[in-house]
Amino acid sequence: MKSSILAVLGGASTALAAVRGFNYAAQEQTYDTFVSQFKTAASLSGASDFTSARLYTMIQDGTTDTPIDAIQAAIDTNTTLLLGLWASEDQASFDNELTALKSAISTYGSSFADLVVGISVGSEDLYRISPTGIAADSGAGQSPDTLVDYIGQVRSAISGTSLSSSPVGHVDTWNVYVNSSNSEVISNCDFLGLDEYPYYQTTDVNTIGNSSFLFFQAYEKVAAVAGGKPIWVTESGWPVSGPTSNDAVPSTADAETYWQGVACALENRGINFWWYILADSGSSPSFGVSSNGTPLYDLACNSTAGYTSTTASSSSASATGTASKNSSSATGSSSASATASNVTASGAAGVGSQAATSGASASGSATATGSAAAGASTASASTGGDTTATATGTETTATGSSGASAATFTGAASKAEGSMAGLAIGALVAALVL
């Protein structure tokens, strides 16, 4: 029970001193461009203390194994770092990441180590080898066994160094974390990085009004399998321009609404997060929160800003869903029954609906009980069979029409060192009967 509550809150270690920042790609970046961006992020009007940078690789663009210039830029601007080692590659290429990491440690010493928040081994590698990722042609991924091996290699590389106490984790989407075939990756992590974009949840009602609900649903599903480990939000955002994505419409107004609902909730609840992205003018969709150093919308958060769940109760629900995007599909069926008391919840969980999720090639059943802070319970099994879940919780949230709604949701932003392509991932969530 205690571990579940800590996971939902993002971990006790981060609650009092949460880290906030942005994601930064490596391509065509130099020391000067990193410094400029880090200074811009730190001084954004309305934003509070966005002084951290999430990186995707340890290697400077255009080199084989030279440490990325972002490190010296971070030292010179007092920017904290969530380091990344690109892991969707073979051992020889990963060795270059390790070489750059070890070189950075020896070159920069404590001035570097003191800024390191954590080390992420890989980014969405498991998503890209999932059935949905493969069907969407999302690029090379990595197996869970190899990721566990790479995590171990990173731990060996930092052992006895100034980074020896740095937490080591992995970044991926919620649907692969709840797939039991990836449980060893979770077991070998100190933290879980979550990428989640309601904008891309095209198989769900992904209006801006439902976006915060979808985000925290995904967060809670990861919390249910995290074993009390901190969950850091490593990517999220809403585009200011670009194509409509099902019910999601890019606009500065909706991007501001999403920021106020999700970013402000994460800030007020003390959860580490790195937003996507500081600026990406010319991209479509464009998720940038600023242009030429000026915010595109209000980034200020007051003490009451952020998503708060609504009140609902239910006795039973069932749902079947299919998700597809870019010729990708994930299908499954589930049934779930739940009871919930009428309570209004506010907190990192934000939601408490019961859900059953399908992954790949197995069937199973599970029973779980959730409580106030943890919210709902989640049972997952791989697709190819049906998953049945029974849960009891004390907090619940639902959206729907005519009293009930079958919903699917996803968090997806596939990147190769920062080049984003969000892809919908299908799942099943029980809809509450009002």
97, 196, 220, 235: the active-site residue: 235
Contact 41, 48 (CB under 8 A): no
Query: In angstroms, rounded to a whole number, what is the distance separating the alpha carbons of residues 211 and 199?
Result: 8
What phi and psi values does residue 147 have, to the nearest 5 degrees?
A: -60, -45
The count of C-alpha atoms lying within 13 angstroms of the C-alpha of 190, restricted to the half-sphere facing its C-beta, is: 17
The angle subtended at Cα 413 by Cα 327 and Cα 178, nearest 5°, is: 85
Which residues are within 8 A (CB) of 373 and not within 5 positions of it... i.e. 6 or more apart?
A: 4, 5, 8, 9, 347, 349
89, 124, 256, 417: the active-site residue: 124
Contact 33, 53 (CB under 8 A): no
Residue 395 designated active-site:
no
Residue 124 designated active-site:
yes
Q: Tokens representing 209?
A: 């009004």
**Closest to 413 (Cα-Cα) out of 195, 262, 202, 249:** 195
Contact 35, 43 (CB under 8 A): no
Query: In angstroms, rounded to a whole number, what is the distance separating the alpha carbons of residues 63 and 68?
Result: 9
Q: Tokens representing 52?
A: 């951290």
Which residues are tagged catalytic?
124, 235
